[in-house]
Amino acid sequence: MDKESAKNKIEQLSKLIEEHNYNYYVLDQPTISDFEFDKLLEQLILLEKEYPEFLSPLSPSQRVGGQITKVFQSVKHQYPMLSLSNSYNDEDLIDFDRKVREGLGMNEADLFNEGIEYVCELKFDGLSIGLTYENGELKKAVTRGDGVQGDDVTTNAKTIGSIPLKLKGNFPANFEIRGEIFMPRKVFDEINKEREELGEAPLANPRNAASGTMKMQDSKVVAERNLDCILYFLLGEKLPYKSHYQSLEEVKKWGFKVDKNYKLCYNINDVFNFINYWDKERYNLPFDIDGIVIKVNSYKQQQQLGYTAKSPRWAIAYKFKAEQVSTVLDSISYQVGRTGAITPVANLKPVQLAGTVVKRASLHNADIIEKLDVRIGDTVFVEKGGEIIPKIIGVDLNNRKPESKTIEYIKTCPECNAPLIRKEGEALHYCLNENNCPPQVKGKIEHFVGRKAMNIDSLGAETIDQFYKAGLIKNIADLYELKKEQLLPLERMAEKSAQNIIDGINESKKVPFERVLFAIGIRHVGETTAKKIARKVKDIDLLIKNNKEELIQIDEVGETIAESILAFFNDEQNKNLINKLKQAGLQFKVSEEQLSAASNKLEGKTIVVSGVFNNHSRDQIKELIEMHGGKNSSSISKKTSFVLAGENMGPEKHKKAESLGVKIITEEDFEKMIN
């Protein structure tokens, strides 16, 4: 193929693919199979590889992702990104309508009369996004941020099929359009199912999932997450449209996805009807909404009404109440967490609630059960807010069976039968059999291999469970005795993954003392405390000899932590473990290198680290600060000695530092300071 025809072919293919994207993502009416579509895309990608000079940043091939955003640049919004004031009931809305009428100089007595047109829309529950187009091409996608400045997430936004990269029809040369990026419920459920299978914590709700996804550095992962985008607000200079409704009709023609459920209402009664309809119907939508947005339709009237500092006077959000249902409490089960904490869970007669079937609800702790006085067989009220796990909020006493008995909280651990303990002033019961209770043992090992501990990333929760069940590991020291030959017979264990696991375990022997001290899992000894202890005491043998008074001398160590450390080293099983780990070659002393690198050059200095750095990760920078006697802090105050700023330092932090006269230094300044 000659260059000219390659160029033409790339253009032609790009156009065709984008048309199919539009049919699929915007219209929801694909006209070819996924297979045929993939073939077209493959062809395009091949051609672009061969003729990279014709690869446009707006090519549909860019939608599959692959580009990494190291740092999300902060961008000032051309028009501030305001939010809406909220309303929760009819009175609030009548009040809004009255204020609108007043603001437009209409007679207040005209209430319920026609004269003002409102557009009612669904309130999509995602993250707001502003898309800027120039001459029909997507230039920028920016998140709300603080309303004045947001993050440039263009690379990630391009992976969203319903966001047009190039427009069609008769669009203005320059404009911004705002809308909501969200995760359809089906996608959300699939991701969580997968996470559950991998033993990972589920994502809390589709909104968090969407905003978390848009902040990911790898656009390929974003592309896989199948986000969607609905637009609802057009902004620009001297646009020729007279009303919001007209704008919505127009922007659809340019290729944007506008939700089809918006409606023109001629008085506040129509608005109530719209709200009541969607309050019930919302569960049949493929995405979450958390309310309705009501907007004055006419742009002239919008202009007359104007804005307060925070929100437009011409629009309001109506928030739905959390839905409640009643169902029967069948039984209560008790889960044992990694720390031995017991959580009671209600098993319910399955019931439809907020679009899903609910079978379980959290009961939190013994006090809550007592306060609710729930009993087996009771009819209970269940509510679901924005989160996945619903809660029991009350009991229908009219429906109580006379023979029902108050619940007696369990006294022994359901996993290992050890007696449960509840300490004075604490809400939760605990199983203290930490070295033999299965979920606790596995939890300890998971903590031990974690990123901030021994960082053995070839070992996940599922593998640990597998090894535990196979009897290969009963504690953290057993990891260092594992042989590849023992792993190979296990299900789904290939030569390569077995080798990776053994290598990862061996590599962890180099992890410095402070992280080993964190990894062994002394209750209350977190990452920071472990560092403080390691830096002060420097050797585990000395630490074991410390008495309570000596321990309390260490920064960050108080009564509770001191007692916990003493109890840990008093335990024969723990002593044994430490000895075995020592023999395996783990670091139980601060290394010579660490000793010689440390100084007190930053003693007495409180430092705030902000932004991204060239030569170090943020964690490394923070570590260096501590190694040289300084203190890390997250917020700027008069006490801050200086702010260590990398690229992309937050604008709010910058302002605050300047207004308090706190010095801002660079990574290079910092390096000079400590060397």
Site for ligand IVH contains 121 (CB under 6 A): yes
Site for ligand IVH contains 133 (CB under 6 A): no
The pair phi, psi for residue 180, each rounded to 5°, is -125, 130
Q: Which is nearer to ligand IVH, 83 or 269 (CB)?
A: 83
**Dihedral in degrees, nearest 10, Cα atoms 9, 14, 20, 25:** 170
Site for ligand IVH contains 206 (CB under 6 A): no
Whether the CB-CB separation of 532 and 556 falls below 8 Å is answered with: yes
Strands (E), 135-259: 137-143, 149-151, 174-182, 228-235
Minimum Å gap between C-beta 100 and ligand IVH is 15
Stretch that binds ligand IVH, among 20-28, 78-86, 367-375, 441-449 (CB under 6 A): 78-86
Minimum Å gap between C-beta 180 and ligand IVH is 5
In this structure, the number of other CB atoms found within 10 A of the CB of residue 46 comes to 11
**Bridge partner residues of 182 (DSSP):** 228
In this structure, the number of other CB atoms found within 10 A of the CB of residue 495 comes to 10
The amino acid occupying position 229 is C
Stretch that binds ligand IVH, among 72-80, 117-125, 382-390, 654-662 (CB under 6 A): 117-125
Return the H-helix or E-strand segment holding 347: strand 342-353
Q: Which of 83, 335, 352, 579 binds ligand IVH (CB under 6 A)?
A: 83
Stretch that binds ligand IVH, among 82-90, 95-103, 435-443, 667-675 (CB under 6 A): 82-90
List, as one string, the DSSP characters of 510-522: GS-HHHHHHHTT-
373 φ/ψ sector (left φ>0, alpha ψ -120 to 50, else beta)? left
Whether the CB-CB separation of 101 and 108 falls below 8 Å is answered with: yes
Token representation of residue 469: 């069940």
Site for ligand IVH contains 317 (CB under 6 A): yes
Pairwise CA distance, residues 9 & 43, whole Å = 10
Size of site (CB under 6 A) for ligand IVH: 14
| 384 belongs to the catalytic site | no
Site for ligand IVH in 153-192 (CB under 6 A): 180
Q: Which is nearer to ligand IVH, 303 or 637 (CB)?
A: 303
Site for ligand IVH contains 288 (CB under 6 A): no
Q: Which is nearer to ligand IVH, 164 or 179 (CB)?
A: 179
The pair phi, psi for residue 578, each rounded to 5°, is -60, -45
Site for ligand IVH contains 372 (CB under 6 A): no
Pairwise CA distance, residues 125 & 317, whole Å = 12
Return the H-helix or E-strand segment holding 332: strand 323-336
Minimum Å gap between C-beta 127 and ligand IVH is 7
In this structure, the number of other CB atoms found within 10 A of the CB of residue 637 comes to 11
Site for ligand IVH contains 293 (CB under 6 A): yes
Pairwise CA distance, residues 383 & 167, whole Å = 44
Site for ligand IVH contains 530 (CB under 6 A): no
Q: Which of 37, 72, 96, 124 binds ligand IVH (CB under 6 A)?
A: 124
Whether the CB-CB separation of 290 and 62 falls below 8 Å is answered with: no
The amino acid occupying position 614 is N
Pairwise CA distance, residues 42 & 22, whole Å = 18
Which residues in 442-460 are b (16+ Cβ under 10 Å) and which e? bbbbbbbbbeebbebebbe
Query: Reduced to 3 states, what is the DSSP secondary structure of residue 252?
Result: helix
CA 11 to chain CA centroid, Å, is 38
Minimum Å gap between C-beta 262 and ligand IVH is 8
Q: Which is nearer to ligand IVH, 257 or 447 (CB)?
A: 257
Site for ligand IVH contains 574 (CB under 6 A): no
End-to-end CA distance of the chain: 59
Site for ligand IVH contains 303 (CB under 6 A): no
Pairwise CA distance, residues 148 & 145, whole Å = 7
Q: Which is nearer to ligand IVH, 82 or 325 (CB)?
A: 82
Site for ligand IVH in 547-566 (CB under 6 A): none
Minimum Å gap between C-beta 83 and ligand IVH is 3
Residue of 9, 39, 76, 123 marked catalytic? 123
Q: Which is nearer to ligand IVH, 305 or 477 (CB)?
A: 305
**Could you tell me the sign of the dihedral formed by the alpha carbons of 110, 114, 116, 121, in that order?**
positive
Q: Which is nearer to ligand IVH, 203 or 315 (CB)?
A: 315
Q: Which is nearer to ligand IVH, 248 or 441 (CB)?
A: 248
Site for ligand IVH contains 667 (CB under 6 A): no
**Bridge partner residues of 647 (DSSP):** 612
Site for ligand IVH contains 312 (CB under 6 A): yes
Site for ligand IVH in 211-240 (CB under 6 A): 232-233
Q: Which is nearer to ligand IVH, 81 or 459 (CB)?
A: 81
Stretch that binds ligand IVH, among 116-124, 183-191, 330-338, 420-428 (CB under 6 A): 116-124
**Bridge partner residues of 333 (DSSP):** 345
Stretch that binds ligand IVH, among 264-272, 309-317, 473-481, 658-666 (CB under 6 A): 309-317
Site for ligand IVH contains 82 (CB under 6 A): yes
Stretch that binds ligand IVH, among 77-85, 369-377, 430-438, 490-498 (CB under 6 A): 77-85
Q: Which is nearer to ligand IVH, 83 or 506 (CB)?
A: 83
Pairwise CA distance, residues 476 & 234, whole Å = 58
Stretch that binds ligand IVH, among 19-27, 81-89, 435-443, 597-605 (CB under 6 A): 81-89
Q: Which of 123, 384, 531, 536 binds ligand IVH (CB under 6 A)?
A: 123
List, by residue number, the catalytic residues: 123
Residues that bind ligand IVH (CB under 6 A): 82-84, 121, 123-124, 128, 180, 232-233, 293, 312, 315, 317
